[in-house]
Structure 1
């Protein structure tokens, strides 16, 4: 597919570069807040809010714009803004200002996702949609695998600031590739003139109408909110739990995230061989179930048990992550009318991002009240319960599977 579709190949490379840089950035941010500034659990809980709040406020507007404007030019502008703000992070004197700049940078990143998803739908044939979604998922997980591993080494041997510089450079390289396809939309079908002439408010209302009238999209989003609420209770607290479990090995944060990426990469590579997902229940519910098992195992781990057990738990969580990430993105791409994809994507992003506001604060409270180990264990069991419920109730949530005896279609070729 990468050989046949040159436009998708360049978009794929640009996405891969920015993703790899983002994971270098993740390690730098985690080490600076968790180990250098010794941030408490409640401060750590603000970090996902800094990433999520802009999606809540701007997500739906970004979705409307993705359906109306030149998506490549919008991504180029946002990459340049993100590179500039990443470099600005180097000058921040304390966690408070650091989080302010992260919030501003997140405002720019909000516009990238619906634009990238909408453009992918336009340049990829319907029968290759799962392959394209899996490839994007694979490069994301490859970034999660390589980025934290290399980022941990760079931060340990040099300084976390170098990871931020690498991320800024990755945004600029992404921009260079996007510049080579800036005119591609001139040859793509454009929205009808009446749609382009719609006021923003009317276009936004039509996006909500599509979303609310589509049972699969609506119920999947409700399930996603429940799952993300449970996951985000603990997700932001990884530096805190690792500070307790392996206090003399801060690099384990990066190793664990890399192994999560490895597990997810295996999963999305397998999914890439398939033509379509026929049963969302087993893929999404099963993925959440495995994430819960992994989190609970990390909470149960005792110092001295052998650090490889943390990596085993991370691998299980990674397999679950691969299933849920590709499954969710494919579902939205497949079930949404192409002309409304940006708006629906923005609506779903804004709704699910609300969990990043409530859940991390509650998670920080639980970590403080119960202690990291106990809280992580109980949160893991809660996530497992959500995944189990989705599997049991999958016909109620997603309807009857297209094939009663299979989860996915036969392999391509």
Structure 2
């Protein structure tokens, strides 16, 4: 049973601490820049880039190193580096130093992610992978809901520096938990055999594995489409609400909470299964639900019951849960264990490109069509792609492994 897997339990707790600290800290940075230093809009707009650009630049290198270095030691090192940089954030004298430190810390996170993905596969049996990814998804959703809420409260009651100090402690505790995992759990097959490819050869091999797997290719495409839809108009939700509910600014928080609860509901449902065989239901269905959420928001008008919008957000949250957990599970299941770091790094770098391009595209579209029309059109497009995934899943996800499986989920 997964609950008896001590190595995973320590990894899971460490991941939860780090994820909570990240969102706790994010609110502190936002409050410090926006309300205390009163930074201009362009400076604040650079904050997302400090998270995305390091991933674009270094994720694929990080994936290669995760497949050849001791994954446990790499995760510990990155946690300690992030703790030290977070402490330095407390003493940042201005916005530019703050942004530079955040970019360095984000670079350390880039090297942590593929190592965690690869180590999860090494400490968890194939029969427990779905439960493991579901649990990680649950703690991520909880962190996304509770972290900003508590972080904003603590920053307002005390100071942003207090939030940063809490995050630094979370990183240190995460590293201490990982230290209790046996070193052998983090060893790689390449290190044990003494056979290592050059960086260039390892990079080519990672892309070859991805491009030779139909299941990985199609899953990555659907996941990126869903992510692009979210990023394209997620940042513009305040613009939409300003038009359709100008006297209810608290609705932003309610929608975020509804999406988070939907994500938790998807996790609770997926935990009932030991394995998933119908990738189309998972990713096609998830992308379709995300599209429904945005299309419903685009059709919402003043006077409509708010529970309709909140219900659509809950449904969209289920879709985001299916998509994120499904992609992680498929990546773990369809990738050779000794290449999970490299393929995870490729996925992380491509996702970060979406994080940069999609919001800019969304801003342009809203300038052309208006908020409601953009939400409606993007929702219909994303939802339509999801429907294609549902109805054509046997063709799209056909592979040597999945062609033999039924289109049902096996408990």
The alignment's TM-score, normalised by the length of structure 2, stands at: 0.87
Give the Å deviation of 1:343.
1.1
Q: d(CA) in 2 for partners of 1:30 and 1:310?
A: 27
Give the Å deviation of 1:275.
1.4
CA RMSD of aligned residues (A): 3.1
Give the Å deviation of 1:292.
1.8
Q: 1:128 to 1:63 in 2, by over 3 A?
A: same
Q: Deviations over 1:304-327 (max 9, x none)?
A: 656555433321111011111111
Bigger CA drift: 320-329 or 45-54? Answer: 45-54
Equivalent residue of 1:67, what SS? helix
Q: Deviations over 1:22-53 (max 9, x none)?
A: 2223444555667775865x777654433222
Q: d(CA) in 2 for partners of 1:313 and 1:382?
A: 16
Q: 1:195 to 1:315 in 2, by over 3 A?
A: farther
Give the Å deviation of 1:286.
0.8
Alignment of 1:199-218 (within 5 A): 199-218=198-217
1:409 matches 2:410: yes
Unmatched tracts of structure 1, length 5 or more: none
1:105 matches 2:105: yes
Give the Å deviation of 1:150.
2.7
Q: d(CA) in 2 for partners of 1:28 and 1:384?
A: 35
Q: d(CA) in 1 for partners of 2:156 and 2:249?
A: 9
2:332 and 2:340 in contact (8 A); partners too = yes
Give the Å deviation of 1:274.
0.4
Tell me which residue corresponds to 1:85. 85
Give the Å deviation of 1:358.
1.6
Give the Å deviation of 1:239.
5.1
Tell me which residue corresponds to 2:75. 75
Q: d(CA) in 1 for partners of 2:361 and 2:381?
A: 14
Equivalent residue of 1:191, what SS? helix
Q: 1:79 to 1:240 in 2, by over 3 A?
A: farther
Unmatched tracts of structure 2, length 5 or more: none
Q: Deviations over 1:329-360 (max 9, x none)?
A: 01000001111111111122222322122212
Q: d(CA) in 1 for partners of 2:246 and 2:216?
A: 43
Tell me which residue corresponds to 1:172. 172
Q: Deviations over 1:368-412 (max 9, x none)?
A: 444444433333333222222322332332127655452x112xx
Give the Å deviation of 1:19.
1.1
Tell me which residue corresponds to 1:12. 12
Q: 1:302 to 1:31 in 2, by over 3 A?
A: farther
Tell me which residue corresponds to 2:52. 52
Q: d(CA) in 2 for partners of 1:165 and 1:404?
A: 50
The alignment's TM-score, normalised by the length of structure 1, stands at: 0.86
Give the Å deviation of 1:116.
0.7
Equivalent residue of 1:276, what SS? coil
Tell me which residue corresponds to 1:147. 147
Tell me which residue corresponds to 1:128. 128
Give the Å deviation of 1:90.
4.5
Bigger CA drift: 21-30 or 62-71? Answer: 21-30
Q: d(CA) in 2 for partners of 1:46 and 1:380?
A: 27
Q: 1:81 to 1:245 in 2, by over 3 A?
A: farther
Equivalent residue of 1:354, what SS? helix
